[in-house]
Amino acid sequence: MSTILTLHQNWFYVAVISTGLVGLWGVILAITRRPPGRAFGIARNAAIIAMLIQVALGALLFGSGMTPGNAFHIFYGAVIAVTFTLAYIYRATMDRNPALWYGILLLFVMGLGLRAWSNVN
């Protein structure tokens, strides 16, 4: 189980940096009124998958009895999962202006990831 803990600790950087960069990219595209294009869609999906892997690793650790942080750490991981669930439900609305909505979503999730990290014991 220590391998999963190490992966969870190190994958954090991949998840937070990717969501932050792609989120910033989306907001910049929206501000400059440029279409997102295929590259943004691929990067968006990769960032979402990276953060979902991080949440899944945390859930696996929690399910095995290990707690990588305090209760707030676990809470922020759960909020990330709920946020992605709501984004999936409202994806048709988000597709009207995908760069802006996914940019804001990914920056919000990056912030949640940083808050989760700040609550590690």
On whether the pTM is more than 0.85, the answer is yes
How many other C-beta atoms lie within 10 A of the C-beta of residue 86? 11
In whole angstroms, give the CA distance from residue 4 to residue 39.
Answer: 31
Q: What domain count does the chain have?
A: 1
Q: Which domain holds residue 47?
A: 2-118
Give how far the C-alpha of residue 40 lies from the chain's centroid of Cα atoms, to the nearest Å: 15
Give how far the C-alpha of residue 101 lies from the chain's centroid of Cα atoms, to the nearest Å: 14
Q: How far is CA 81 from CA 44, 85, 86, 106, in A?
A: 16, 6, 9, 12
- Tell me the pLDDT of the chain (121 aa) as tens digits: 689 889 999 999 999 999 999 999 999 999 999 999 999 999 999 999 999 999 999 999 998 888 767 889 999 999 999 999 999 999 999 999 999 999 999 999 999 999 999 988 6
Q: Fill in the DSSP letter of residue 30.
A: H
